[in-house]
Structure 1
Amino acid sequence: MSVKTEVKSLHRIRERAPANGKIAGYIYSFKPGQLVLDFYFRNWVYAGDIPEWDEGERYRQLVTLPFTNYEGFRQAYRIARIFIALPRHIRVVQVV
């Protein structure tokens, strides 16, 4: 599937997003105009260990990508895919 076709499909899915907002692996859309990347869960899965769940740490590792229109959604989704596809040995942590 081409990126353009995937983005069109995901845009339609985002408009009809389920209650949990998940549109792709570790990528969510809870509010219109925002994509959220869940690096806490991504890093947790890639590490292969099961740490004690830390809600505060999870929220610190959520990255929000805002967008305003269809083209903005395409750009935000491309960036999200690049971040999520980083090699497993690279841990991504948002510094606030």
Structure 2
Amino acid sequence: MPLHGRALEVSPGYFLLPLTMVLVGRFYYQERLDIVQWLAVACALMGVLHELWMTGSFAWSTLVVALGYPPYFILRRKINANPVVVFALELAWGY
């Protein structure tokens, strides 16, 4: 996507991605966070909210990144894919 002139619109999605992955871990995998992890999530959320407030915009491509990757990662974990093989396939498919 960044190659199509949307790099600035996509980048907030990569900042939101860890927060969406925390939600996936918490609610899909029933994982628990300790207090330090919750503090890290709160700091990350404050940073993302500040950036959204400063830019005053929210693009659809931001949501594609933030909400599109979690199902992909769930699928990779479900099929127990070898990370090295998957990475090689991703590189080969991307070019």
TM range (shorter): 0.3 to 0.5
**TM-score, L = length of structure 2:** 0.33
Select the structure of larger CA radius of gyration.
2
Higher relative contact order (CA 8 A, sep 6+): 2
| TM-score after normalising by structure 1 | 0.33
Higher helix share: 2
